[in-house]
């Protein structure tokens, strides 16, 4: 259930991302002591009193009318998806995390299961709507992590990336993965603005993660491309892998990520790792270079370990 404090955090985060010039106001002369807009500026732009807006941000208003929510959305230049999330928070309706809404509902076609089974030498994943982890093959489980041990509701790449400290520690450059997750969600939100689950997930991350808010405010570029990541594994050392993302034509909500060994040395290292029967042990970490990817997964595997997560989501 969303609370008044959730609304305050949401409004404050959006206010900090705008400048007076963004809403047609002058920043005036002299140094500003606040980052982004002042409360008074938002109140003026929305046509409400400063006292009322202050109480909204401080979590002292239980319910907000639809008209006030619309005025705030316009003043804060919210996207359509963000506006829906504002209404959801303002109404005090349950903020069900997206992974819980879809992870059990989505199904993966037998064709994709076959694709994953056929990729015995490369990690491969299927990711569903809102970055929900649906399937993974054994190489992905051994290299990336023990998805099978997670609660199905928590198997969501974006939530893990931004809200799980242990997951964050798997990245050598966590900001790379963060940017890729945001870019992926941005693409989903713009392609399917009517999808309530994606909206709920974006709102949840915006409230709970400062980094997510910062990246979201930059409106990530929705490009495509290939990314090479280097996984530092305790058993085989450095493994370079190229991300290749396939969009499922029959279900645009799903995509397949293949982590293809980038060269003979990487292929041999991955083969040795799989032959070793590695399950859970030392931390692997990921470094990344060049441009994008998308993530996903296959059915629960036996004793894979939660290794290092690369940027498994792409713009």
The tokens for 296 are 């996903």
Beta strand 227-233 with 133-136: parallel, antiparallel or unpaired?
unpaired
Q: Is-contact 233 202, C-beta < 8 A?
A: no
Q: Which residues of the chain have pLDDT under 70?
A: 1-3, 28-31, 92-105, 169-172, 193-194, 219-226, 277-315
Sequence-ordered list of residues with C-beta below 8 angstroms from that of 84, at least 6 positions apart, any chain: 193, 196, 199
Beta bridge partners of 285: 232
Q: Which residues contact 118 (CB under 8 A, 6 or more apart)?
A: none
Neighbouring residues of 186: CB distance < 8 A, sequence distance ≥ 6: 216, 219, 220, 222, 315
Torsion of CA 57, 62, 67, 71, to 10 degrees: 10
**What is the pLDDT at residue 311?**
36
pLDDT for 29 equals 59
Task: Return all residues near 250 (Cβ < 8 A) that are at least 6 apart.
Answer: 109
Q: Supply the pLDDT for residue 3.
A: 67
Q: What is the 3-state secondary structure (H, E, C) of the chain?
A: CCCHHHHHHHHHHHHCCCCHHHHCCCCCCCCCCCCCCCHHHHHHHHCCCHHHHHHHHCCCCCCCCHHHHHHHHHHCCCCHHHHHHHHHHHCCCCCCCHHHHHCCCCCCCHHHHHHHHHCCCCCEEEECHHHEEEEECHHHHHHHCCHHHCCHHHCEHHHHHHHCHHHHCCECCHHHHHHHHHHHHHHHHHHCCCCHHHHHHHHHHHHHCHHHHHHHHCCCCCCCCCEEEEEEECCCEEEEEEEEEEECCCCCCCEEEEEEECCHHHHHHHHHHHHCCCCCCCCCEEEEEECCCCCCCCCCCCCCCCCCCCCCCCC
Average model confidence (pLDDT) across the chain: 74
pLDDT of residue 312: 36
Residue 286 dihedral angles phi and psi, to the nearest 5°: -125, 135
- Would you give the distance in Å from CA 302 to the centre of its chain? 26
Within 10 angstroms of residue 290's Cβ, the number of other Cβ atoms is 12
The predicted pLDDT at position 280 comes to 39
């Amino acid at each position: 259930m969303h609370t008044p404090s959730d609304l305050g955090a949401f409004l404050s985060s959006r206010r900090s991302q705008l400048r007076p010039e963004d809403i047609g106001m002058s920043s005036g002369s002299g140094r500003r002591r606040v980052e982004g807009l002042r409360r008074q500026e938002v109140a003026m732009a929305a046509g409400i009193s400063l006292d009322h807006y202050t109480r909204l941000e401080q979590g002292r208003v239980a319910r907000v009318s639809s008209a006030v929510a619309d005025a705030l959305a316009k003043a804060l230049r919210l996207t359509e998806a963000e506006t829906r999330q504002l209404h959801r928070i303002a109404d005090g309706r349950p903020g069900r995390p997206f992974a819980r809404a879809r992870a059990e509902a989505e199904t993966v076609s037998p064709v994709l299961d076959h694709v994953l089974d056929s990729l015995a030498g490369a990690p491969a994943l299927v990711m569903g709507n809102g970055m929900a982890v649906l399937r993974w093959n054994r190489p992905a489980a051994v290299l990336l992590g023990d998805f099978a041990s997670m609660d199905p509701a928590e198997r969501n790449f974006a939530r893990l990336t931004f809200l799980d400290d242990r997951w964050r520690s798997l990245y050598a450059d966590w900001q790379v993965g963060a940017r890729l997750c945001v870019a992926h969600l941005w693409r989903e939100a713009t392609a399917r603005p009517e999808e309530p689950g994606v909206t709920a997930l974006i709102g949840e991350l915006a409230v709970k993660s400062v980094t997510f808010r910062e990246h979201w405010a930059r409106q990530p570029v929705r490009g495509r491309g290939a990314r090479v990541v280097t996984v530092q594994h305790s058993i085989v050392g450095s493994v370079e892998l190229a991300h290749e993302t396939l969009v499922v034509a029959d279900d645009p909500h799903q995509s397949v990520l293949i982590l293809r060994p980038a060269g003979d040395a990487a292929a041999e290292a991955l083969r040795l790792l799989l032959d070793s029967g590695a399950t859970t042990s030392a931390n692997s970490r990921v470094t990344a270079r060049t441009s994008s990817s998308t993530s996903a997964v296959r059915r629960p595997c036996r004793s894979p370990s939660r290794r290092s997560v690369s940027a498994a989501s792409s713009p």
